[in-house]
Amino acid sequence: MTHDTAPQQHSDIGDVNQRFYDGLWADTRLVHPERFNTWSLVSSLAESHTRRLEVGPGMRPRLPIAGTHFVDISPPALAALESAGGITHTAPISALPYADQSFDLVCALDIVEHVEDDEAALAELSRVAAPGARVLLSTPLHPEYWTPFDDIVGHYRRYEPAKLTQLLERHHLQIEQSAIFGMKPKSSRLNDLGMWFLQRHRPVAMKVYNRFLMPLGLRLQKPLELTPGMVATDGVEEVFLVCRRAS
């Protein structure tokens, strides 16, 4: 079985992810879900989906924190989420510490592209989701859009849209709605400057991102424009998906 991996990959993608996100979360504060453009959707779903799980949120959870289960591998993020009323567990996405069909709402944004075995990751998300549960996902698209940024942040792949749909269907996840997603700046010069600093002055770059660029990005977010099924993906770098776990 083939996956949409980039031509060159890190020898140990797990170590790359651990180092990058431990550094990122160590010098930042928890950003509450109400500040993201996903909140209108998430808050309406949360009213009728009380058994909730979010995987790999770091310091930027999208589900309501109080009463939600959170799984991550970052101690700083888990400590912050627990202090805010979350129920936390340390575990990888490929081994979630829950019984089958435990949740009505599952969220894993910007996660599956970071793990080598995406089949195992999606199998676990599907396993813990009850029939009819909503599963929220996001991931980057188009392998030909690969840049050094993908290497730096620990991406293992970008997906071809058709193959992503097939992957989800294999794990009983049906796309109900989708939207163009992501907070990456459109300016190629700004992206190139950010990558230069990340490669050569990572602590400074992360501090600038956490304290200045992230707050600016939150203020400049556009509303999440959901469409039925898979959004037209030509020229789209990242997609947000609302899936339903099939019965």
Tens-digit pLDDT profile for residues 112-146: 999 999 999 999 999 999 999 999 999 999 999 99
Closest CA to 20 of 169, 154, 173: 154
pLDDT above 50: residue 2: no
The pLDDT of residue 176 is 98
Tokens of 190: 């700004």
- How far apart are the C-alpha atoms of 127 and 121, rounded to whole Å? 10
pLDDT above 70: residue 221: yes
pLDDT digits (tens, 9 = 90+) for 60-97: 999 999 999 999 998 889 999 999 999 999 999 999 99
- How far apart are the C-alpha atoms of 239 and 159, rounded to whole Å? 10
Task: Report yes or no: 152 and 23 within 8 Å, Cβ to Cβ.
Answer: no
Which residue carries 């190139």 as its tokens? 192
Q: What is the mean pLDDT of residues 103-114?
A: 96
Confidence band of 99 (pLDDT split at 50, 70, 90): very high
Helices 13-26 and 75-83, axial angle in degrees (round to 10): 50
- How far apart are the C-alpha atoms of 101 and 128, rounded to whole Å? 4
Pick 13-183+222-245's CATH classification: 3.40.50.150, 3.40.720.10, 3.90.1010.10, 1.10.760.10: 3.40.50.150
Which residue carries 């039925």 as its tokens? 228
b/e per residue, 20-39, with b = 16+ CB within 10 A? bbeebbeebebbebeebbbb
Cβ contacts of 130 within 8 Å, gap of 6 or more: 51, 101, 102, 103, 104, 245
